[in-house]
Amino acid sequence: MTAKIISGTEVARQVRERIAREVVQLREETGVTPGLVTILVGANPASVSYVTGKQRTAKELGFYSVQDDEPEDISEEKLIKLVKKYNDDPAIHGILVQLPLPKHISETNVLYAIDPDKDVDGLHPMNLGRLMIGEARFYPCTPFGIRELLAMAGVETKGAEVVVVGRSNLVGKPISMMLVQKEANANATVTMCHTATRDLAAHTRKADILIVAAGKANAITADMVKEGAVVIDVGVNRIGVTPEGKAKLCGDVDFETVKEKASVITPVPGGVGPMTITMLMQNTLKAAQLAAKGK
Ligand SMILES: NC(=O)c1ccc[n+]([C@@H]2O[C@H](COP(=O)([O-])OP(=O)(O)OC[C@H]3O[C@@H](n4cnc5c(N)ncnc54)[C@H](OP(=O)(O)O)[C@@H]3O)[C@@H](O)[C@H]2O)c1
């Protein structure tokens, strides 16, 4: 079997078209334009590139967008004050603090300072807690993108054996919690694996849907995958430089061999990645829609 390759780029394009239409509709009906601020501390090249992509997309979709660059040595107190300024700014509906932050700043303290109603990255404990009890307001963007990819590819999750490799707060735990909920596009039986899992392959081979967020190139090889499985590769590993001088990327799954066994697979790049930024825009639009309704 050769897998159908899901293009996250194409699915993201469709979702963005819908968001752009809804932005126009919201403005016409309420006068509200979704506003997003991205706060970047320092100039880590990967973070600069992520923030640039988020800003570009926000502008393309008709958002009001603000890029706030802060020096590497900003104090935690000053950064929290800045976050609170945006909490009080009615033109801003979404606040994204680009992670990781420099070592002298507690990411937890900064994330806790964001108004949960403007936490469009979905990482505030209030939003993660709501997700757990099935009352999510904002899903974290990468897991949200994974769920959209599965839904738009027509993958049945109800009753499916889902195996997630990775238990980070950013990806592994939230996607597991989302897919176990008793609701549409979820309702699966979920197993979470990590570095203390005794026999990883014994678990991954049972998966109807295998989601890999380990951050290790080739962590999943064809012998670890069931014939006909759906494979979502979240990993982004830098494995060199292209002739054009760009970072050469690969996922956590040995794509060439696994695609001969899976029924559906996502590539890296061009799979989960484009969906992450798109779902940030979806969350910001939702924050603006709720604000316009006074909720
Ligand atoms: N495309 C996107 O938009 C996007 C967004 C976010 C992340 N990512 C990528 O996704 C990957 C994961 O990100 P993350 O933030 O979740 O990473 P992370 O915080 O480093 O967590 C990795 C998780 O994988 C587990 N793990 C690592 N190696 C393993 C192995 N050989 N077998 C079983 N479990 C293993 C770790 O287990 P322990 O807990 O036991 O250490 C940990 O729970 C990274 O490559 C990251 O760049 C992509």
131-149 confidence digits (pLDDT tens):
999 999 999 999 999 999 9
* Alpha-carbon distances of 90 from 65, 87, 108, 142, rounded to whole Å: 13, 8, 24, 26
Domain end marker among 82, 116, 150: 116
Are residues 267 and 149 part of one domain?
yes
pLDDT over 90 at 46, yes or no:
no
CATH code of the domain in which 242 resides: 3.40.50.720
199-226 confidence digits (pLDDT tens):
999 999 999 999 999 999 999 999 999 9
Residues 204/165, Cβ–Cβ less than 8 Å: yes
| Span 166-188, average pLDDT | 97
Nearest ligand 1 atom to the CA of 251 is: 45
pLDDT the model gives residue 99 = 94
Are residues 109 and 193 part of one domain?
no
pLDDT higher at 66 or 46: 66
**Is residue 8 one of the residues assigned to a domain?**
no
Please say whether the dihedral angle defined by the alpha carbons of residues 225, 13, 55 and 127, taken in this order, is positive or negative. Answer: negative
By percentage, how much of the chain surpasses pLDDT 70?
A: 100
Ligand 1 within 6 A of 142 CB? yes
**Is residue 253 one of the residues assigned to a domain?**
yes
pLDDT the model gives residue 295 = 75
pLDDT over 90 at 246, yes or no:
no
Ligand 1 within 6 A of 172 CB? yes
Ligand 1 within 6 A of 216 CB? yes
- pLDDT tier for residue 81 given thresholds of 50, 70 and 90: very high
- Give me ligand 1 centre to Cα 200, in Å: 14
Are residues 230 and 150 part of one domain?
yes
- Residues classed as catalytic: 54, 98, 121
**Is residue 280 one of the residues assigned to a domain?**
no
- Give me ligand 1 centre to Cα 195, in Å: 10
Are residues 149 and 37 part of one domain?
no
CATH code of the domain in which 46 resides: 3.40.50.10860
Ligand 1 within 6 A of 219 CB? yes
Ligand 1 within 6 A of 194 CB? yes
Are residues 266 and 147 part of one domain?
yes
- pLDDT tier for residue 1 given thresholds of 50, 70 and 90: confident
Q: State how many domains the chain has.
A: 2
**Is residue 19 one of the residues assigned to a domain?**
no
pLDDT the model gives residue 150 = 98
Residues 121/83, Cβ–Cβ less than 8 Å: no
Cα–Cα distance measured from residue 123 to residue 108, given in angstroms and rounded to the nearest whole number? 10
* Site to substitute for ligand 1 among 236, 252, 275, most atoms within 8 A of C-beta: 236
Are residues 253 and 156 part of one domain?
yes
Nearest ligand 1 atom to the CA of 271 is: 1
Strands of 35-41's sheet, edge to edge?
Answer: 64-70, 35-41, 94-97
For residue 21 the two structure tokens come to 């239409």
Ligand 1 within 6 A of 220 CB? no
Are residues 51 and 175 part of one domain?
no
To the nearest whole number, what is the mean pLDDT of the chain?
A: 97
Are residues 105 and 214 part of one domain?
no
Are residues 146 and 79 part of one domain?
no
52-66, 87-101, 239-253, 264-278: which has the minimum mean pLDDT?
239-253
Write the residue with the smallest CA distance to atom 18 of ligand 1.
168
- pLDDT tier for residue 13 given thresholds of 50, 70 and 90: very high
Are residues 85 and 171 part of one domain?
no
Cα–Cα distance measured from residue 185 to residue 127, given in angstroms and rounded to the nearest whole number? 19
Domain residues for the domain of 60 are: 30-116
**Is residue 121 one of the residues assigned to a domain?**
no
- Give me ligand 1 centre to Cα 103, in Å: 20
Write the residue with the smallest CA distance to atom 14 of ligand 1.
168
Q: Could you write out the three-class secondary structure of the chain?
A: CCCEECCHHHHHHHHHHHHHHHHHHHHHHHCCCCEEEEEEECCCHHHHHHHHHHHHHHHHCCCEEEEEEECCCCCHHHHHHHHHHHHCCCCCCEEEECCCCCCCCCHHHHHHHCCHHHCCCCCCHHHHHHHHCCCCCCCCHHHHHHHHHHHHCCCCCCCCEEEEECCCCCCHHHHHHHHHCCCCCCCCEEEEECCCCCCHHHHHCCCCEEEECCCCCCCECHHHCCCCCEEEECCCEEEEECCCCCEEEECCECHHHHCCCCCEECCCCCCHHHHHHHHHHHHHHHHHHHHHCCC
Are residues 268 and 153 part of one domain?
yes
- Give me ligand 1 centre to Cα 24, in Å: 37
- pLDDT tier for residue 247 given thresholds of 50, 70 and 90: confident
- Give me ligand 1 centre to Cα 60, in Å: 30
Are residues 230 and 171 part of one domain?
yes
**Is residue 126 one of the residues assigned to a domain?**
no
**Is residue 231 one of the residues assigned to a domain?**
yes
- Give me ligand 1 centre to Cα 141, in Å: 15
- Nearest 5°: CA angle at 13, between 9 and 14? 125
84-100 confidence digits (pLDDT tens):
999 999 999 999 999 99
By percentage, how much of the chain surpasses pLDDT 90?
A: 96
